[in-house]
Amino acid sequence: MVQKITWSAEAEKNLREIKEYIEKDSLYYAERFVRQVFAKVSVLLQHPEFGKPVSKHGDIVLRRILHKSYRIIYFIRNDVAYIVAFFHQARQLPESFEIDNLFQ
């Protein structure tokens, strides 16, 4: 079980940019989209291994949750779910993620 969900600065920035893009057409749908993303991520509190493994970084297994056309990349460590990336599925999965600075 996970006690806390923490978003990296990069993941928060990406979600905010997507929200701002949707807001150009509809504030209602932009806010709804963000609520849906947080609802999807909150599943990790009860089911931390919900996402499909996508890669490994040392002893950390990166997992993926899909929401609509977006990927949410996360890993679990010490009862915390770290959201490290949020981006459109059309974008290629990066070779690596900046996860080392999350522990400083």
> For position 4, what pLDDT does the model report?
94
Q: Which residues of the chain have pLDDT under 70?
A: 93-104
Mean pLDDT of the chain: 89
Length of the chain, in residues: 104
Instruction: Provide DSSP, 27-88.
Output: HHHHHHHHHHHHHHHHGGGT-TT-SEEEEEETTEEEEEEEETTEEEEEEEETTEEEEEEEEE
| 83, amino acid identity | I
Tokens of 71: 């990927």
> For position 94, what pLDDT does the model report?
66
Domain positions in the chain are 4-90
Q: What is the reported pTM? A: 0.86
> For position 104, what pLDDT does the model report?
46
Is 4-90 in CATH node 3.30.2310.20?
yes
> For position 28, what pLDDT does the model report?
97
What are the pLDDT digits (tens) for 40-68?
999 999 999 999 998 887 788 999 999 99
> For position 99, what pLDDT does the model report?
66
Is residue 44 within 8 Å of residue 63, measured between CB atoms?
no
